[in-house]
Amino acid sequence: MKMIVTAGRGTDAVLSGTVSFDVQIACDAPDVPAASEIREWVGAAYKRAQFVADRDIEIAVRVVEEDEIRALNRDFRQQDMPTNVLSFPAARIDGLPKDQPLTLGDIVVCASIVRAEAAEQGKSTADHWAHILVHGTLHLLGYDHVTKLEAAEMEGLESRILVEHGIADPYGAS
């Protein structure tokens, strides 16, 4: 049985409140970013997307093995294969008291797939982690890439966030 390590709980200031993070490491991968780095990339995405909440927010990030992400992808997206990242936006609760935090949702990342993709794409694993975390966070904030227009908007925002933090545009735009 795998032990789940809660690698970090923390809060960061957000535009109009705080963001609480729950980072769970449920795998033995050697190159998983520290919880503080995970929080940094998730925070960079919601700050750049100018997400504004009238209350504190909560986000969970879980780092997993291929078998777990494959099961999630199969059960929730009907795709029986592992993937790099899945985002599960939380349902909005009408009438939630203002003193209760807004749960944005969960981001699940497969460490071995991130590592393999980074090698295939000739980029550092750390840079690819940054991209995957930004991508997953933008999904929680309502961005998608189903249509060409949606993809252009989401990928453009991802690129701007990464470039602003010294990482090459993952889509290769100049």
174 within domain boundaries? no
170 within domain boundaries? no
Q: List the CATH number of the domain containing 113.
A: 3.40.390.30
The CA radius of gyration of the chain, in Å to the nearest whole number, is 16
169 within domain boundaries? no
173 within domain boundaries? no
The pLDDT value recorded for residue 165 is: 94
The pLDDT value recorded for residue 173 is: 66
Range of the domain at 68: 5-164
106 within domain boundaries? yes
18 within domain boundaries? yes
Helix H or strand E encompassing 148: helix 148-164
How far apart (Å, rounded) are the C-alpha atoms in residues 102 and 42?
Answer: 16
137 within domain boundaries? yes
Amino acid residing at 37: E
**Averages of pLDDT over each 10 residues, the chain, 174 residues:** 40 56 91 92 87 82 97 97 96 82 93 97 96 96 92 94 94 72
The pLDDT value recorded for residue 88 is: 96
How far apart (Å, rounded) are the C-alpha atoms in residues 104 and 59?
Answer: 6
- Dihedral-angle region of residue 170 (phi above 0 means left; psi in -120 to 50 means alpha; beta otherwise): alpha
The pLDDT value recorded for residue 72 is: 98
Instruction: Name residue, tokens 């071995």.
Output: 112
Query: What Å distances lie between residue 45 and 39, 66, 126, 140, 170, CA to CA?
Result: 10, 25, 16, 10, 15
The pTM of this model reads 0.88
Total structural domains within the chain: 1
171 within domain boundaries? no
